Every structure is written in C-alpha cells, then in structure tokens.
Amino acid sequence: MGNEVPPDPPPVPPVEDGTPPGSTPGEDPGTPPDTGGPPDEGTPPDTGEPPEAGPWPVDAVLDYTRSFGVGTPQSVGLDEGLNLWLLDGNRIGVMRPGDPAPRWTTGVGQAREPFGSESLAVGSTVICGGEAGRAYVGYRAREMRRAEGISQRTYIPGPGEPNYTPERYAEYQKGDLDAVRLQADGSVALEEHIWRTTGSSNRGKQIGIHNTNDFHYEEDRSVFNCARVTRGPYRGDLYITTNHGVTRIQGLTYNSHRHPGWYLITTNPDGSKDESLQCPPMHGLGIAPNGDVLVANEQMLGVLIPSAKLEEWDREQTWAGPTPWRFKGFNEALNGQATDDFWRAFEQTASGRYYLGSAEFGVWAMTPKSRSAGNWSRLAGLPTNRILSLKATDDGALYIGTDGAGLWRLEPDGTTLTQVQQVSGQRVLQLVYEPTVTPSMLLVLTDRGLTVLRGP
C-alpha cells in the first residue's frame, strides 16, 4: 500500500431540523467543535438507596418498556453518567436518571438523509454509551463495487490520482460512526462524525473511518457491534466491529483495524498461485475480565491484548509486538476453515472458559490448548441453536440470548441451564452489562422491549 494523502472531500451538507453539524470536511480544525457547554450528565436523584446502587431502580427484574415507555428499540446502551441511550431507526432516545420517559430526536448525523443504498447510510445498527453525556451510533453502508481500472473494490483514489471520480470519493462519507451529545433539554445533537485517527497518511482530512495505515482503503463501512470498557486501566475505551475487523476508539480518535484473517491460496491455469486475505464480517465482540478484547467473524475468532497506546492497536505482528494475539484460530470441531460458523457473540466467564454463540450452530465452550487451537464442546440443553447474544456476569454465570426461545442462564458450574422467564420476548437482540453499580445491571433487549436485571 502507498502513503499518498487523499485531498479534502466535498463539504458535508448541513444537518436538517436544527441539529448542529459536526465539522465541515476540510482542514483539521484542531479541537473538537463546541457543542454548547458541558453535557447534562444525568445527576442521580435522591432515592434513598445506597450511593453505589446507582440512580436506577434496584428491582431484581423491571420491564423498562412498561415502566418508562421506552418502546421496542433496536439497540440500547449506558454511558458513564448512567444515561440510558436508545436507537430506533433514524431516531435516538435518551432517558436521564429521574426522567419519566425517554426523549427522542430524529435525523441526527448520518440519519439526516433518508436511509438508502445511495444515501449516507443504508440504516442504523447499534448504539453504545461513552463518557457521561456522549454516545456512539453505528451505521451500515452498501458494499462498494470494483471500479473500472481498480483491482481492489475498497480502494478510493483521490483527485489527481489515476481513476479518480467524485462519486467514488464520496463513498468515504458513508456508513461508519457518529458521536452524539446529550443537550441540556434532553435532546441529542451530533458532536462529530468520527474521523480523527492516529495515522499520519491522512492527517487533518475528515473522511470517516477506514484503514489507519493507508486511507485509500475504505474497508470499514458498516458497524455491527460495539462495547465500552467498563473497568480497568482502559475504562472508557470503545471497540466497534465492522464488515472487516475491530476498531478501537478513545474519545473522538480511532485506530482501525485488526482482524483474525487467513489466506486463501488459489492456483491459476498457468500454475501460478494467488493469495487473498479472508476477513468476513465481524459480529462477535466481548471484553474479558482481564481487559482482553474478544472478537469473532464468520469463520475465525481471536483474543487481543490491548496496549496503553492507541496508535499501537493496528500493529499486526501476530504473537509479538505491542498488541499481540493471545489466541487466533477457528473451531475445527465444527467446520473447516473456509466454512462460515456465523459467530454472533464471544464472552469469557469468571472461570476463564471462553464461550461463542452462533446464529446457526448453538453455543460452544472453548479452552485453548495452544495459541491457535482449542478444546471445543457444544453446550447441550438449549431448545434452539440460533444464538444472537451472550453476556458473562460477575457472579460467574453466562446469559444466553436466543433467536426464538428467550433468555437463558448458564450457571457457574458450566452445565446447569435455566430459562429466565421473567423477561418477555423470544428474540434476545442485545445484552449490555454495567458492573460499576451495586447491584450490577444487565440490560436485556428483546423483540418485546427492554428489561433490566439487577444483581447478576
């Protein structure tokens, strides 16, 4: 890959409905834009509960859809101020501690235009909380087509370079991730469409998230999952998984990306061989108890050890270097390397055992026997093999979100399974764990709405 610096993209149109835009594409403005003073951090009301309980009710099980009218969002998250964030298509909701119901804002950031294949986004995907008053919203963009004269479909030439077109260059603006801010009145405004990075090949140019080492390659276009680090030395860091890998974000700055890929070797008619790196879409994402980053794409999984420096995240040296893989491999007990396993979730319980959930093949437990191979066993006793979400909790349990059979709990013994019948809904879309309050909070989002469990 070269190190040429693409020039500035065309200006981003202003945000509709009075939502203030982020920075206009162009030169580096230096510090992030002023969004009108500090965000409302959601000061907890005096509820008579111990301070460590946090500002939300401490009922063992509480249906937030019925109690607070949060509806049936597609994704939920908590920020460091314990504001509850909700995503539903082109609208973002926030419920601050003490609010009787969420307030919704429509048409922010990438959702300022109607969703569509030629628009800024095909649709929204996930929401994660950040620092108090901030959230991150992920979007999906259509796959890029290979342009005439360009051998790689993710390569985007800039003005003055061979095969440049304004239409292809505009692809930089699509999909990716917005940072949004809670305003004093409870509404939401765009803070910035994430573009700042640790790489030098495109310093000061605002063209979204793509390869940190060479910005000609627009490989991270769709965000599928996100997770905020809730404790440890890197508390507050955000990880997102995309159609290509996993990206690390600190505040408004990113480093993209890492992936547990493998090389497919094909033989040409003349006997020569070609290698192509296989990096399928990545949905599985978890943070281990020790802070390791757990990732799984359709075929492979990996455990990454993050370093203190964001700029070291994409420095791939496999088992060495500042951000090495602790484990990188595939489930040889299930399928061959080239066959999709459809991983959707990846967690590590307090026992140290890893668990992966597949959209088609159930839940698998894994203990490494080397850096690239593991001892695998399928979890028995579930009524379905269709898994959408997993979450390990501090009591040693694993919560399992199924597609069609509700929420289940695997006890710390690794064998006892019980259905959590107090949670309504058959499709468990997302599990979010907040261990910084006592009792802890487990947000369970299903097709029937949001339920919160306290104390797992």
> Which tens digits make up the pLDDT trace of 275-329?
777 789 999 999 999 999 999 999 999 999 999 999 999 999 999 999 999 999 9
CB 367 within 8 A of CB 355: no
Give the sheet arrangement for strand 407-410, strand by strand: 387-392, 398-402, 407-410, 417-419
Whether residues 311 and 425 share a domain: the answer is yes
Q: How far apart are CA 299 and CA 260, in angstroms?
A: 9
For residue 24, name the pLDDT band (cuts at 50, 70, 90).
Answer: very low
Q: Is residue 13 part of a domain?
A: no
Q: Is residue 165 part of a domain?
A: yes
Q: In the prediction, which pLDDT does 153 show?
A: 83
Whether residues 248 and 137 share a domain: the answer is yes
Whether residues 73 and 130 share a domain: the answer is yes
Task: Indicate the pTM of the whole model.
Answer: 0.87
The per-residue pLDDT for range 178-236, each reduced to its tens digit, is 999 999 999 999 999 999 999 877 677 788 998 898 888 888 999 999 999 999 999 99
Strand partners, 366: 354, 376
Residues in the chain: 456
Among 234, 258, 282, the domain-final residue is 258
Q: Which of 343, 147, 130 is nearest to 239 (CA)?
A: 130
Q: In the predicted model, is pLDDT for residue 47 greater than 50?
A: no
Whichever domain contains 437, its CATH number is: 2.130.10.10
Residue 110 structural domain: 64-258
Whether residues 389 and 453 share a domain: the answer is yes
Q: In the prediction, which pLDDT does 10 show?
A: 36
One DSSP character per residue, 90-139 reads TEEEEE-TT-SS-EEEES-GGGSS---TTSS-SEEEEEEE-STTEEEEEE
Identify the residue with better confidence: 274 or 432: 432
Q: Is residue 31 part of a domain?
A: no
Q: Which of 409, 364, 410 is nearest to 385 (CA)?
A: 364
Q: Exposure pattern of 17-53 as b/e (b: 16+ CB <10 Å)?
A: eebbbbbebeeeeeeeeebeeebbbbebeeeeeeeeb
Whether residues 118 and 166 share a domain: the answer is yes
Q: In the prediction, which pLDDT does 206 show?
A: 87
- Tokens 């203990």 sit at which residue? 367
Q: Is residue 435 part of a domain?
A: yes
The per-residue pLDDT for range 395-453, each reduced to its tens digit, is 999 999 999 999 999 999 999 999 999 999 999 999 999 999 999 999 999 999 999 99
Among 197, 231, 258, the domain-final residue is 258
Q: Is residue 329 part of a domain?
A: yes
Among 192, 223, 258, the domain-final residue is 258
Q: Is residue 5 part of a domain?
A: no
| Total domains in the fold of the chain | 2
CB 389 within 8 A of CB 406: no
SS (H, E, C) 189-207: EEEEECCEECCCCCCCCCC
Q: Is the dihedral of CA 116, 122, 127, 128 positive or negative?
A: negative
Determine the average pLDDT of the residues in 67-87: 98
Whether residues 238 and 276 share a domain: the answer is no
Q: In the prediction, which pLDDT does 51 show?
A: 55
Whether residues 145 and 288 share a domain: the answer is no
CB 110 within 8 A of CB 140: no
Q: Is residue 275 part of a domain?
A: yes
Q: Is residue 423 part of a domain?
A: yes
